[in-house]
Amino acid sequence: MSVDTTKPALIEQGHWLTVPDCKRVLVVVHTVTFAQRLREVFGLLETDLHIQLVFTVAPHAFGTGVTQFLQALGIVPVPWEEALQARFDLVLAAGSRGVHELRAPVVRVSHGAGHIKLLTDVTSLAPGEPRVPGMLSRQHLLHEGRLVPSAIIYAHERSVAELARSCPEALPAAHVLGDPCVDRILVGRSQRERYRRALGIEPGQRLVVVTSTWGPTSTFGRLDSLLPQLLTQLPADRYRIAMLVHPNVFAGHGTRQVHGWLACCSDRGIAVVPPEADWQAPLIAAHWIIGDHGSLTAYGTLTGATTLLTAGNRREVSASSPAALLTAVAPVISPGYPLAEQLEYAAQSQRPGQYDQVAASLSSVPGQFHRRMRSLLYRMLGLGEPAHPPSVTPPPTPPSLRQWEVAANSEVLQ
């Protein structure tokens, strides 16, 4: 019988291990989106010979594709049931489901730009209790009255002020450490022209990036309104288009179905960025961003691109979130006017500093996430930090848009 040497031994220890006496950190991954955010966190630990990382996939409605995503990184996760039985020194998670069953201190990180979407399950709310976003709610932070995370990571001081009202029991565990996506985008802005060349943007062309979160009020949920404009009103010799669709859309409907609905795009030169791809470089490269109330649209305010919003119901959005702030200052796409004219008008009308308040709401400590996060993790592990600062590298160079156009089309033709 062959031995799987890629999966870390959990129960069997001692002489089976080549590097003994490591602190063991469990990384709990629920969805591809959570995995992308956690990568910024566990990457701060994985080179240390005193630390062993172990990964597991927790049950989740949008968990499709998580195992494949991890395997592409060279990670073979252990079964969830096995992780529940083992002991660890620390747990990293970006979701709440099931983590109360684990036997180790839990570090809970957010997975988006601020805290946007209000709780959808209101059955557990007391009469008169307001709806708040998940990471600010008692429902997501407490289990049977007990605070689950030992550390809760927020990007902005504003979130802690809101937590004081919504779940004061969690205040001792709250830490304001910043946002890794903010920091990488800020570092990557100097690479904008290189990203555009890599994507295949020719001289004289402009890149339009369409962003969508998931749910009925998202850009994708209302794509029947925007898609005809994208297909017919932006000449290919002047505009290139890339769609950044939330991984939950692919997980919820299936990759083949999503590509089937977007089959018309590849024939018109619209690239559909796969859910596992890094989205930051295309966002930085954009001349225009057309989006909804999702995180990527808010992150786009850091790039200097002209941002336009799709029409949609914003009642499910927290009034204090970056998305709500963006709604107050960004122009809205109208189906009754030529799209190219709206893009040009928005660019010409954009005021200096128009999105500054939105961008400032994404992080209280821009540029400091990796340093602050690493310090917290090492304190919780009882280890001394490495004697060098953590690196914050720009987003990787993306493939050409043409590659993503062909990949989406081949998924349907197979």
CATH code assigned to 190-363+397-413:
3.40.50.12580
Per-residue pLDDT tens digits for 162-198: 999 999 999 999 999 999 999 999 999 999 999 999 9
Q: Is 360 exposed, middle or buried (0-12, 13-18, 19+ CB in 10 A)?
A: middle
Per DSSP, the residues of 198-213 read HHT--TT-EEEEEEE-
Q: What is the largest CA-CA distance in the chain?
A: 71
φ/ψ of residue 195, rounded to 5? -65, -40
Contacts of 87 (CB under 8 A, 6+ apart): 24, 103, 104
The C-alpha atoms of residue 40 and residue 262 are separated, in whole angstroms, by 31
How high is the pLDDT of residue 390? Answer: 95
How high is the pLDDT of residue 204? Answer: 93
CB atoms inside a 10 Å sphere around CB 169 = 13
Alpha-helical runs (H) found in 128-269: 138-141, 157-166, 180-188, 192-199, 223-232, 247-253, 255-261, 263-267
Domain 14-181+365-381 matches domain 190-363+397-413 at the CATH topology level: yes
Amino acid at 227: L
- Show the low-confidence residues of the chain (pLDDT under 50): 1-5, 11, 413
Residue with tokens 């190219």: 340
Half-sphere exposure of residue 220: CA atoms within 13 angstroms, side-chain side: 22
Give the CA distances from residue 38 to residues 33, 44, 93, 151, 391, in Å, rounded to whole numbers and listed in that order: 9, 10, 7, 15, 16
For domain 14-181+365-381, say whether CATH 3.40.50.1970 is its number.
no
pTM for the model: 0.92
The C-alpha atoms of residue 265 and residue 259 are separated, in whole angstroms, by 9
Amino acid at 404: W
Residue 206, token pair as written in the block: 């402009």
**Domain residue ranges of the chain, discontinuous segments joined by +:** 14-181+365-381, 190-363+397-413
Contacts of 300 (CB under 8 A, 6+ apart): 209, 211, 283, 286, 289, 291, 307
